């Protein structure tokens, strides 16, 4: 017999019922997160809308006027950049908030039991609200600059789902590791800044020299943003091979994230 | 079959003076000779065994720091044992310490919903039960006020009302009745009685021997993580009172 065993025997709960319960909880926690950002702090709308707008304004000046960067042909650089940042921020802001979601809920974690993955999951879901606001602003920009959306726009939901899967996987890892090493957040923000530059947000993949371009497939977020921006603003050709590889990597990262999370989970309550 | 079986349960905490809990500290220790304060092990529970028969309630008593809350956290699943076996049969609900899991910036309403969902209810179920929870806690006028403006008693009321609304088979309560006023304590006791009538097991930690005697069939006395005594409430409480130099009922003032 093993040294440790813990078993909680409960009446078998219907799978569907359990799922509803967990979905309710994820939604509840996500809404609380959103409420905290928008109601309890004036910075809510800043992060969702103003920050990407300001970045776009400054960057589009620097990159298009000074460095002569180009986005998609026939699309004003401002719109191209804002579009890319919208999809980038969904990823980047999710990770930056997920990294603190366990450490920030210490009292909840040490007093009540629930599947811990629910916390990083809801933390990522909460960023969908910011993302929606950003999409609205993007639509307004497209109207102002008279940019017609691509004809393959129907690909977008699938691409966003894949991006979320990838983001969730990384969110599980960073939130769990941050419990053990509390300064991961600072390191993460540096890494994300570097990551932004190797992703096609301020430039397009077409401008990358062929020799280097082959390596870009290793960066699923970059690949996804490239496809998302193209679907929204450009011709919208989605390369099925690239999409397949990206989806596979994302699924792999998601599973790896769950695995890492489970390994570190037992230590959470102790060090809180 | 017993609802709770605990066998040879041990829980070790590491009390590290200088835990490398950040990358920068880790980085530092790579270059300097690691200068940890000694890694001190601390056994909060040592080889504790007991079991609770179906429908019976158990109390856990002991001085501060004896491991009572640690034991309850192991039973709810927030902590994992270092060694030993735990089997809990049935749906659990718990109320660990004051304002268990309440977020101070949010209203009582938001907190009841979230707490209810964490404790195992669906959103729809909390909605059904909401009126009843608020009525039991007698907080109709304060339900939309942030919990940080609640008194300790008010938090305890809401926490207790939410935890019991789950309709558990096992209710785990850690020192929350004490802060309520006497009318609320009576109300809690009568709800506990009613639950016991339905076959619910209660696990109660309290420093109030009156509560323990009123609720529990059996009592576990912990001291420095070890089980001093486990048995019939009357016997254990009497021994504990003698040991603590507390007056025995009936001898009061003698
Ligand atoms: N996460 C932790 N890390 C290190 N030590 C801990 C941790 N949690 C509890 N302890 C230690 O375990 C011991 C038992 O704590 P516990 O909270 O179980 O006591 P208790 O019996 O509930 O006391 P009280 O009557 O004051 O509530 C204490 O000495 C405490 O310092
Ligand atoms: Mg305690």
Reply yes or no on whether the pLDDT at B248 is more than 80: no
Q: Which stretches of chain A sit within 8 Å of chain B by CB?
A: 3-11, 17, 20-21, 24-25, 27-29, 32, 35-36, 40, 107-114, 180-184, 187, 266, 269-271
Q: B211 lies in which domain range?
A: 4-244
Q: Do the domain assignments include residue B123?
A: yes
The answer, yes or no, to whether residue B83 has pLDDT greater than 80, is: yes
Give the residue, by CA position, lying nearest to ligand 1 atom 12.
B44
What is residue B92's predicted lDDT score, i.e. its pLDDT? Answer: 92
CA dihedral B222, B41, A182, A221 (to 10 degrees): -90
B253 is a domain residue: no
Give the residue numbers spanning the domain of A57.
Answer: 2-271
CB B5 within 8 A of CB B87: yes
Q: What CATH number has the domain bearing residue B69?
A: 3.40.50.300
Instruction: Give the minimum alpha-carbon distance from A180 to chain B in angstroms, rounded to a whole number.
Output: 6
Residue B228 three-state SS: strand
By the 8 A CB rule, do B82 and B10 touch?
A: yes
Q: How confident is the model at residue B18 (pLDDT cuts 50, 70, 90)?
A: low
**pTM of the prediction?**
0.91
What pLDDT was estimated at residue B20? 66
Q: What is the mean pLDDT of chain B?
A: 89
pLDDT of residue B48: 96
Q: Which of B232, B207, B231, B208 is nearest to B66 (CA)?
A: B207
Mean pLDDT over residues B231-237, rounded? 95
- The pLDDT tens digits for B27-40 are 776 666 555 556 67
Decide if B102 contacts B149 (C-beta within 8 A): no
Contact B67, B44 (CB under 8 A): yes
pLDDT of res. A267: 76
Residues A111, B22: C-beta atoms closer than 8 Å: no
Higher confidence at residue B1 or residue B132?
B132
The pLDDT assigned to B17 comes to 60
Bridge partners for B119 per DSSP? none
Determine, for residues A10 and B91 on separate chains, whether the beta-carbon distance falls below 8 Å.
Answer: yes
Over chain A, what HEC string results?
Answer: CCCEEEEEECCCCCHHHHHHHHHHHHHHHHHHHHHHHHCCCCCHHHHHHHHHHHHHHHHHHHHHHHCCCCCCCCCCHHHHHHHHHHHHHHHHHHHHHHCCCCHHHHHHHHHCCCCCCHHHHHHHHHHHHHHHHHHHHHHHHHHHCCCCCCCCHHHHHHHHHHHHHHHHHHHHHHHHHHHHCCCHHHHHHHHHHHHHHCCCCCCCHHHCCHHHHHHHHHCHHHHHHHHHHHHHHCCCCCCHHHHHHHHHHHHHHHHHHHHHHHHHHCCHHHHC
- pLDDT given at position B148: 93
Tell me which chain B residues have a C-beta less than 8 angstroms from the C-beta of A24.
Answer: 117, 122-123
Residue A268 CA to ligand 1 center (angstroms) comes to: 16
d(CA B24, CA B30): 10
Question: How many Å lie between the centroid of ligand 2 and the Cα of residue B203?
Answer: 13
What number of other Cβ atoms are within 10 A of residue A46's Cβ?
A: 13
Query: Looking at chain A, which residue has its C-alpha nearest residue B94?
Result: A112
Q: Is residue B249 part of a domain?
A: no
Q: Give, as one character, the DSSP assignment of residue B180.
A: S
- pLDDT tens digits, one per residue of B40-73: 789 999 999 999 999 999 999 999 999 999 999 9
Q: For position B38, what pLDDT does the model report?
A: 61
> CB-based burial of residue B100 (10 Å sphere; 0-12 exposed, 13-18 middle, 19+ buried)?
buried
DSSP letter assigned to residue B231: E
Question: Does any domain span residue B234?
Answer: yes
- The residue contributing the CA closest to ligand 1 atom 11 is B44
Give the pLDDT of residue B116: 93
Taking an 8 Å cut-off on Cβ atoms, the answer to whether B76 and A4 are in contact is no
Which tokens belong to A6? 């813990």
pLDDT of residue A233: 95
pLDDT-based confidence at residue B253 (cuts at 50, 70, 90): very low
Residue B97 has pLDDT above 50, yes or no: yes
CA B12 to ligand 1 center in whole angstroms: 11
B69 close to ligand 1 (CB < 6 Angstrom) = yes
Nearest CB among B21, B87, B117 relative to A7 is that of B87
Number of structural domains chain B divides into:
1
| pLDDT of A187 | 95
Residue B43 Cβ inside 6 Å of ligand 1? The answer reads: no
Q: Nearest CA to CA, how far is A251 from chain B (Å)?
A: 28
Task: Report CB contact under 8 Å: B91, A11.
Answer: yes
pLDDT in tens, chain A (272 residues): 578 888 888 877 788 888 999 999 999 999 999 988 887 666 777 777 888 899 999 999 999 888 888 888 889 999 999 999 999 999 999 999 999 999 998 888 888 889 999 999 999 999 999 999 999 999 999 999 999 999 899 999 999 999 999 999 999 999 999 998 888 999 999 999 999 999 999 999 888 898 888 888 889 999 999 999 999 998 877 899 999 999 999 999 999 999 999 999 877 777 76
């Amino acid at each position: 017999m093993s040294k440790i065993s813990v078993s909680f025997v409960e009446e078998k709960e219907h799978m569907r019922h359990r799922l509803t319960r967990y979905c309710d909880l994820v939604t509840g926690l996500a809404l609380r997160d959103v409420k905290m950002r928008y109601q309890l702090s004036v910075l809510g709308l800043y992060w969702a809308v103003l920050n990407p707008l300001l970045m776009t304004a400054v960057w589009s000046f620097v990159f298009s006027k000074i460095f002569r960067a180009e986005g998609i042909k026939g699309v004003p650089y401002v719109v191209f950049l804002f579009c890319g940042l919208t999809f980038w921020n969904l990823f980047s802001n999710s990770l930056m908030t997920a990294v603190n979601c366990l450490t920030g809920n210490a009292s909840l974690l040490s007093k009540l039991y629930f599947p811990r993955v629910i916390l990083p999951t809801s933390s990522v879901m909460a960023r969908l609200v910011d993302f929606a606001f950003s999409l609205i602003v993007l639509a307004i920009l497209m109207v102002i600059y008279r940019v017609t959306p691509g004809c393959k726009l129907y690909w977008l939901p699938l691409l966003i789902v894949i991006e979320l899967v990838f983001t969730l996987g990384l969110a599980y890892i960073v939130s769990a590791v941050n419990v053990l090493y509390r300064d991961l957040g600072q390191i993460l923000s540096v890494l994300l800044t570097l990551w932004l530059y190797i992703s096609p947000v301020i430039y397009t993949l077409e401008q990358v020299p062929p020799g280097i371009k082959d390596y870009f497939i290793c960066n699923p977020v970059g690949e996804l943003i490239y496809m998302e921006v193209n679907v929204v603003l450009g011709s919208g050709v989605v390369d099925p091979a690239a999409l397949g590889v990206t989806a596979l990597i994302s699924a792999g990262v998601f599973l790896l994230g769950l695995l890492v999370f489970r390994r570190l989970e037992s230590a959470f309550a102790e060090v809180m | 079959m017993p609802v709770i079986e605990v066998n040879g349960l041990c829980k070790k905490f590491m009390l590290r003076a200088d835990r490398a809990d950040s990358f920068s500290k880790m980085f530092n220790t790579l270059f300097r000779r690691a200068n940890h304060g000694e890694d001190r092990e601390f056994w909060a529970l040592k080889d504790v065994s007991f079991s609770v028969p179906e429908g019976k309630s158990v109390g856990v008593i002991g001085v501060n720091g004896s491991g009572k809350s640690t034991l309850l956290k192991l039973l709810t699943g927030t902590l994992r044992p270092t060694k030993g076996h735990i089997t809990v049969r049935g749906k659990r609900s718990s109320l660990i310490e004051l304002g268990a899991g309440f977020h101070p910036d949010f209203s009582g309403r938001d907190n009841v919903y979230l707490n209810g969902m964490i404790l195992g209810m669906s959103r729809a179920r909390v909605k059904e039960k909401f009126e009843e929870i608020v009525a039991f806690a007698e907080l109709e006028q304060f339900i939309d006020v942030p919990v940080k403006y609640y008194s300790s008693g008010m938090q305890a009321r809401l926490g207790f009302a939410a935890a019991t609304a789950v309709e558990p088979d096992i209710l785990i309560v850690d020192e929350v009745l004490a802060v309520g006023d006497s009318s609320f304590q009576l109300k809690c006791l009568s709800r506990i009685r009613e639950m016991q009538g339905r076959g619910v097991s209660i696990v109660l930690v309290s420093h109030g021997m009156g509560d323990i005697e009123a609720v529990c069939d059996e009592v576990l006395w912990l001291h420095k993580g070890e089980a001093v005594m486990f048995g019939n409430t009357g016997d254990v409480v009497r021994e504990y009172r003698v040991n603590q130099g507390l007056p025995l009922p009936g001898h009061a003032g003698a």
